[in-house]
Structure 1
Amino acid sequence: MAKKEAPIHKLQDYLPPNTFEPVLQYLHQYKVHLTVAQERKSILGDYRHRTRDKNHRISVNGNLNPYAFLITLIHEIAHLLQYEQYGNSVASHGKEWKSIFGQLLAQFIQNGTFPDDIKQALLRTLHNPAASSCADEILLRTLKNYDDTPSHLKMVEEVLHNALFKTHDGRIFQKGEKMRKRFKCVEVKTGRLYLFSPVYEVEELTGHGPLLTPGP
């Protein structure tokens, strides 16, 4: 996984205005080694607790918009603070982490860091935040309003029914019906069924393929 090593003041380039100093206090106080990673599809950020030989380590994807970057960084700092208080004796996204994460978010909300739409999305779940912003579709959809998204990409929910779309790894799917919270889609090459989040970004392909059904 490629990472960028840069002077700490460069962190300002990834954060919303007036948030660098509050964040820097936590990084300095707990001697955090922070890295900015290239885009990772499975995770937005990562935390590794301190050991005898290494300090606390946090990585955050550098392709995130400033608000998503800050929320992800706060998410990982909450893991750090949980470790400092409880070690490995509690669940990683249990009530202790949720309480700490909520308190940290509240500080930035009170300081007027977030636009009103993001603020409202955060306030919905402030006392019971999801384990990942990717798991909170309302928050993720709101944060995407601030992305510099390439024009050829769409969210799965925007793709026409039965239309074909391509994922970032080049696989082609046909969009099917929505089942509760996710869309049922068939991979064209294998006939296998997959469930996609409505806000997953894909490239819609021109035209419709033949109606596919899942393989055995």
Structure 2
Amino acid sequence: MNNPLLNHLPKDAYPLVLELLNKYPHTLKIVNQRSSKHGDFRKTKEGKYQITINNNLNQYQFLLTLIHEVAHLVTHLNFKRVQPHGIEWKMTFQHLMLPFVNPSIYPMEILPHLANYLKNPKASTDSDVHLSLALKSFNQKSDKNFIFEIPFGSDFTFKNRTFRMGTKRRTRYECLELHSNKTYLFNQNVEVKMIVTN
């Protein structure tokens, strides 16, 4: 394994990751950010296994995403055709993540949320609001806000569209897209750019 991986992982996780990656042969590619996913696993036309991980993830997100995708590889090797995020994948992912749920690897701000998420892991870590916010708090500072930080009635942009902040439903925010006058629901951990008016 080459050293660029070292820059993407918590230092104490590196030897454990290396051991895991060498145990299950595949090609690992670190790729440019994709808005629809953090990583993926697939079998190529040549019959080889390939894992890709986005290069913009902080080290804690990167590690979690990498083990998530390795769990897909191991599940495929052990069980062949099963539900992508079914019981076999969940058990495999929990087992592979166990050595990393450790204060020498993950900070205390993340650990309890990570442990809770791993009780019944979902297809995307973003679906767990508490874990998602804890992980994102370690991102480099950006000019974006979480949607729950936007005051009611304020305007913001998301994917080059302008919205007005509305009321909170149970877990999501109702926002009006100004161009179409349609209402959209936003998860509370979405990052948006607030429009500041002087």
Shorter-chain TM-score tier: over 0.9
Shift in Å, 1:8: 2.3
Contact 1:49 1:83 in 2 (8 A): no
Distance 2:24 2:98 in 1: 21
What residue is the counterpart of 2:66 in the other structure?
A: 73
Equivalent residue pairs, number = 198
Shift in Å, 1:25: 2.2
What percent identity do the matched residue pairs reach?
33
* TM-score relative to the length of structure 1: 0.86
Contact 1:99 1:127 in 2 (8 A): no
Shift in Å, 1:50: 5.7
What residue is the counterpart of 2:138 in the other structure?
A: 146
Please, which of 189, 192, 196 is the counterpart of residue 202 of structure 1?
192
1:49-107 CA-partner distances (Å, limit 9, x unpaired):
366x242111111111100000000100111111011111x211111111111111111
* TM-score relative to the length of structure 2: 0.94
Shift in Å, 1:18: 2.0
Distance 2:56 2:44 in 1: 26
Question: Equivalent residues in 2 for 1:15-164 (5 A)?
Answer: 15-49=9-43, 53-88=46-81, 90-110=82-102, 112-150=104-142, 152-164=143-155
Contact 2:29 2:51 in 1 (8 A): yes
Amino acid at match of 1:79: H
Three-state SS of the structure 2 residue aligned to 1:100 is helix
1:9-36 CA-partner distances (Å, limit 9, x unpaired):
2100111112222212222222211111
Gaps of 5+ in 1: 1-6, 209-216
Amino acid at match of 2:175: C
Three-state SS of the structure 2 residue aligned to 1:206 is coil
Contact 1:46 1:59 in 2 (8 A): yes
Three-state SS of the structure 2 residue aligned to 1:60 is strand
1:110-137 CA-partner distances (Å, limit 9, x unpaired):
4731111211111112221121111111
Contact 2:117 2:131 in 1 (8 A): no
Please, which of 140, 159, 176 is the counterpart of residue 166 of structure 2?
176
Three-state SS of the structure 1 residue aligned to 2:195 is strand
Contact 2:102 2:111 in 1 (8 A): no
Three-state SS of the structure 2 residue aligned to 1:97 is helix
Amino acid at match of 1:20: Y
Gaps of 5+ in 2: none
